[in-house]
Structure 1
Amino acid sequence: MSNQSPIKHVVISRFTIRPPVENDPRLLSSRTKALIIVILAMCAASSGFSSTIYFPGIPDITVDLNAPPIATTLTAALFILFMGIAPVFWASFSDYYRIRRFLFILSMAIFGLASLGAALVTNIWGLVVLRCVQALGASCGQSVGAGVIADCYPIERRGAAFGKYFFGVFFGPLIGPILGGFLIMSDLKWRATFLFCFAFAFTVVLLITFTYPETYRENEKWDTSLPITTTSDSYKNEKQQQTATKNNNDNGSESTRISLEQEPDNVSTNSKQSRTIAASSNIDPAFSKNNNDNNNEDAIEIKKKKTLNPIKPFLYLRHPHVLLASLVTAVAFGSMFAVETIIPDLFESNYGFVPWQTGLSYLGAGVGNLCGAFINTFLSDRLLLRARAKRGGHALVEDRIGINVWPCGFILMPFGLLLFGWGIGTGMSYWTGIIGFGIQNFGMNQIMTALSAYLVDSAPGIGASFTAAANFLRMITACALTLAANPMVKAIGPGYTCVFLAALTYISMGLLVILKIYGGRMRRYSGY
């Protein structure tokens, strides 16, 4: 790159699909990383606020487009469904082509064009289709974004980064109705909400194009790799030296990878295979895939040609630790979305709120989310390092499930749900609903952030795919609860509806206890 002119360098880095990554992304300046997190949060927030920004205008949509109730419900439910399916494909493309930046640009362009179409549509079923396309574009940030954080931050510093990133993920659905409540007061009414989405997407595309660097980190390139040619005997000596080096570097923080890929013809077949010895004093051995077959062979890393398989991330749910973490986050996120869906009808029928007042009723959840993100940013990495220190410097992925998640899951989230449901159902002040939803979001933020970091830490190099698999289950659950929430409220009332959601929360926390205790065994069983 040094022989290129500055203009050519700018063109290659800004206007090519896969610009070269010239330096280790983990060595980027703090300022650049902060910019990356901000843009990631904006991409992730696009799905959240676009899913709810038009909620205050649903009555106007029904009238203007002569829409049956099922059609307006589908604009929300199918959006969530596609938000669960599409990230799996984005993650597969990212891992296969080893790109991040171009996918963000492409996805936000799709999101922007679909938003513009939704603002101009004159048919409710056209709006349903465009909402699905909008979800396709907005979904990239939630799966590929987790991979970017793994690119830029070592394990010990990912907790704080995830806290900031997920503030955008969770704040989006809550700020959406507030924005929508004011936007529909304009002459354009509900169409103004989709024009705002278009302007937002256009702004993000410009930011990514001119300020955002490519961050895909090839671990085999940036982790020290030394090819060594040796004989069978010298290989044994080399292995002994590496073992000694490993024991003498208990305070080291960088992983040294030594690949033995070429050996003379007189070496046995087993010795000729590509071997990887990972020497790290503070990295959980489960971070590297364990391929031992109980035959005393050394860990063997065989490089295979990558194939593009968009279905593969779905299959990661077969691993018990991925499934359990995904189920816990699915219940937490789905419960939040269910409450969010029933707020407009409840506040309008019980308190006579007009659209802009309904939008403001989401502020409590926004404050709870903000506080949760702040607390998690402060605690996550500290609790991780504390657990590691108690173990003599040895790390476990399950350290991410820190002490802060237990009161959030067993006390705060159920209490917030019950306060919301029974406060409104018994005719108490609307502040009970606002505060209850805020408490629920405070707890949800910390659980979601901890488990998202856990999934990325448990699978170095394919964190985006693990996150996409979890996101799929999360959105499927949110879709189901969204469809069921309003009928349940009409059938059994808001109080018992929230009792049902609180019961689901307790069941999910039981699964989290199992993951905390047996997560290591589950990962070893799955080969991670």
Structure 2
Amino acid sequence: MADTEKSEASDNKPQTRLDADVDCPSAVETSAEEAKDPDVVDFDGPNDPENPMNWSSAKKTAAIAIVSLMTLLSPIGSTISSAAASDIMEHFHSANESLEAFVTTIFLLGYTFGPIVIAPLSELYGRALLYQVCMVLFIIFNVACAVANSLGSLIVFRFLAGIAGSCPVTLGTGSIADMIPREKRAGAMAAYVVGAVLGPSIGPICGGYLTPAAGWRWNFWLMAIASGVMTVVVFLFVRESYPYVIQKRKTERLRKQTGNPSLRSALDTGKTPRELFAFSILRPLKMLLSPIVFMLSLYAAVVYSYLYLCFTTFPLVFGGQYGFGSGASGLATIGLGVGSLVGVFFCGAVAEKLSNYLTEKNGGEPKPEYRFPTLAVGGFCVPIGLFWYGWAAESKAHWIVPIIGTSFLGAGMIITYMASTMYLVDAYTVYAASVTAASTIFRCLFGALLPLAGNAMYSALGVGWGTSVLGFIAVAFTPLPFIFYIYGQRIRETKRFKVEF
């Protein structure tokens, strides 16, 4: 997710917005003065075929499908080792339970640090090149995991694989914003998110059955092979969709053709690459100083961490309570996957309609706060799922009962994630990419660290009370959507809470 300073109204000149887009570079803004300047290179009118907004439907669909497949593959890699964690620890002669969970969650630490570097680099070199480079690195680091000869080296390579794997998660929404106008974006975003939410549930299933059959190393060989196929597709079919880079290349091409060194892109910020990199790397961290960004990011981070806590503790819970083997324990994630899909379809079908209804009901002026009723639905699903799952497993009810409970957790997690993201994008349109990156960093940091306490917590409190602690924390967050629905606009517009970017 990358955004350029060009999209900011950095001066007081009148702005003509040719393409209202949430990702800043796609918001092609040129002043009336620039439009008449023969040295300014822009798209050739609203129907320019070089503008990704004007690509054919088939080209857009193919591009989004490839990005979605990359986004599916990366989360599979994040959890594929969870079912094999005990075998990995046994192989390296370690009995440390926290380290066992860390083998899985270290991947998310890569997700935490990857966007900090990938987002500003994409501003300089474009999305397509970053996709290609990161896919190659993803193959290399998974091969390194497969041949690791120590637990320490395995953890390091998992971390590096997480950094490379964060690329489609970081840039995917920006790619969609490059091609799809705002009024049609909800459906495309829902299709993209399907890969992101299914991946973590597919990983434990693959690892659960592959580990007993071929050994834990084949989890990483499988990821390397699948990534190799995907990399070929990326190199053959992914084209640059980032308007800033497209216009920059067009400008360089015209300079050579015309011999005019004064030509400059309409999206040129005037900053050097070093200045752009430093500017972009700091902005997401600054945005967390805003109370709304901080609280929504914290809420999404807590809920997201519950998902990975489930992945790291399912072998203990379903193995200890129900006698499941590694394969069956992996299948226990189906409830989370099904619930996540329900959450995606709910948001795709309801969120936009509800926002439009509230807009019409309140005078016709759209407000970001109209996303909060959807968020409230997810807020109620999460504690319901946690209490249901925890006490059903504690009482050793039929195994399908706790799995049904996890489906509520999965639905609540994805509704919370999508609703909070849509709010942040609507509220901070100019800085949409940066605010999403800030939320992602926070979310993945929690997802990497909180599950480390999962096994110890369940050993001390039991499945019922251990999960209930998480449920009570989720209950404490349920008033947040109602508070921000009423006071969110006032908080956003109060000078005291505004952060200068």
State the match for 2:283 in structure 1: 312
Is 1:208 aligned to residue 244 of structure 2? no
- Write the distance in 2 (CA, Å) between the matches of 1:168 and 1:349: 31
State the match for 2:84 in structure 1: 57
Alignment of 1:124-523 (within 5 A): 124-187=151-214, 189-218=215-244, 305=271, 307-309=276-278, 310-401=281-372, 403-410=373-380, 412-523=381-492
State the match for 1:242 in structure 2: none
Code of the aligned partner of 1:382 = K
State the match for 1:26 in structure 2: 53
- Write the distance in 1 (CA, Å) between the matches of 2:371 and 2:236: 35
TM-score by length of 2: 0.79
- Write the distance in 1 (CA, Å) between the matches of 2:52 and 2:371: 23
State the match for 1:87 in structure 2: 115
Q: CA deviation at 1:504?
A: 1.9
Code of the aligned partner of 1:311 = L
Q: Tell me, yes or no, if the aligned pair for 2:300 and 2:417 is still in contact at 8 Å.
A: yes
Q: Deviations over 1:266-303 (max 9, x none)?
A: xxxxxxxxxxxxxxxxxxxxxxxxxxxxxxxxxxx996
Q: Tell me, yes or no, if the aligned pair for 1:155 and 1:457 is still in contact at 8 Å.
A: no
- Write the distance in 1 (CA, Å) between the matches of 2:477 and 2:450: 15
Closer, same or farther in 2 for the Cα pair 1:179/1:37, shift >3 Å?
same
Deviates more, 1:384-393 or 1:310-319: 384-393
Q: Deviations over 1:196-225 (max 9, x none)?
A: 11122222222222222211135998xxxx
Q: Deviations over 1:496-515 (max 9, x none)?
A: 12212112212233233333
- Write the distance in 2 (CA, Å) between the matches of 1:161 and 1:74: 34
- Write the distance in 2 (CA, Å) between the matches of 1:27 and 1:385: 26
Q: CA deviation at 1:463?
A: 2.5
- Write the distance in 1 (CA, Å) between the matches of 2:285 and 2:499: 17
State the match for 2:20 in structure 1: none
Q: CA deviation at 1:111?
A: 1.3
- Write the distance in 2 (CA, Å) between the matches of 1:31 and 1:332: 36
Q: CA deviation at 1:108?
A: 1.7
Q: Tell me, yes or no, if the aligned pair for 1:159 and 1:453 is still in contact at 8 Å.
A: no
Closer, same or farther in 2 for the Cα pair 1:418/1:178, shift >3 Å?
same
Which of the residues 145, 151, 156 maps onto 1:118? Answer: 145
Code of the aligned partner of 2:395 = T
Code of the aligned partner of 1:92 = P
Code of the aligned partner of 1:453 = M
Q: Tell me, yes or no, if the aligned pair for 1:88 and 1:143 is still in contact at 8 Å.
A: no
Q: Tell me, yes or no, if the aligned pair for 2:386 and 2:409 is still in contact at 8 Å.
A: yes
- Write the distance in 2 (CA, Å) between the matches of 1:82 and 1:332: 19
Code of the aligned partner of 1:190 = W
Q: Tell me, yes or no, if the aligned pair for 1:41 and 1:165 is still in contact at 8 Å.
A: yes
Closer, same or farther in 2 for the Cα pair 1:158/1:321, shift >3 Å?
farther
Code of the aligned partner of 2:467 = C
SS in 2 for 1:318: coil
Q: Tell me, yes or no, if the aligned pair for 1:66 and 1:124 is still in contact at 8 Å.
A: no
Q: CA deviation at 1:22?
A: 5.3
Deviates more, 1:374-383 or 1:474-483: 374-383
Closer, same or farther in 2 for the Cα pair 1:201/1:515, shift >3 Å?
farther
Q: Which runs of 5+ in 1 are unaligned?
A: 1-19, 222-300
Deviates more, 1:206-215 or 1:419-428: 206-215
- Return the structure number with greater helix share: 2
- Write the distance in 2 (CA, Å) between the matches of 1:492 and 1:190: 30
Closer, same or farther in 2 for the Cα pair 1:39/1:220, shift >3 Å?
closer
Q: Tell me, yes or no, if the aligned pair for 2:83 and 2:329 is still in contact at 8 Å.
A: yes
Q: Tell me, yes or no, if the aligned pair for 1:110 and 1:136 is still in contact at 8 Å.
A: no
Closer, same or farther in 2 for the Cα pair 1:104/1:302, shift >3 Å?
closer
Q: CA deviation at 1:98?
A: 5.9
Deviates more, 1:150-159 or 1:302-311: 302-311
Q: Which runs of 5+ in 2 are unaligned?
A: 1-42, 248-266
Closer, same or farther in 2 for the Cα pair 1:517/1:91, shift >3 Å?
farther
Closer, same or farther in 2 for the Cα pair 1:307/1:24, shift >3 Å?
same
Deviates more, 1:345-354 or 1:442-451: 442-451
Q: Deviations over 1:59-88 (max 9, x none)?
A: 221222223425433312322222212212
Structure with larger Rg: 1
Q: CA deviation at 1:493?
A: 1.1
- Write the distance in 2 (CA, Å) between the matches of 1:385 and 1:323: 26
Q: Deviations over 1:166-223 (max 9, x none)?
A: 2211211111111112222433x111110111122222222222222211135998xx
Closer, same or farther in 2 for the Cα pair 1:157/1:108, shift >3 Å?
same
Q: Tell me, yes or no, if the aligned pair for 2:99 and 2:452 is still in contact at 8 Å.
A: no
- Write the distance in 1 (CA, Å) between the matches of 2:419 and 2:288: 18
SS in 1 for 2:429: coil
Over aligned residue pairs, what C-alpha RMSD do you find? 2.7
Q: Deviations over 1:293-319 (max 9, x none)?
A: xxxxxxxx9966252122332222112
- Write the distance in 2 (CA, Å) between the matches of 1:68 and 1:490: 15
Q: Deviations over 1:428-469 (max 9, x none)?
A: 121122111111101211221122222233333542222111
- Write the distance in 2 (CA, Å) between the matches of 1:161 and 1:148: 11
Which of the residues 99, 104, 128 maps onto 1:76? Answer: 104
Q: CA deviation at 1:367?
A: 1.3
State the match for 1:103 in structure 2: 130
- Write the distance in 1 (CA, Å) between the matches of 2:139 and 2:350: 36
Q: CA deviation at 1:161?
A: 2.2
Closer, same or farther in 2 for the Cα pair 1:449/1:405, shift >3 Å?
same
Identity %: 28
SS in 1 for 2:428: coil
Deviates more, 1:98-107 or 1:515-524: 515-524
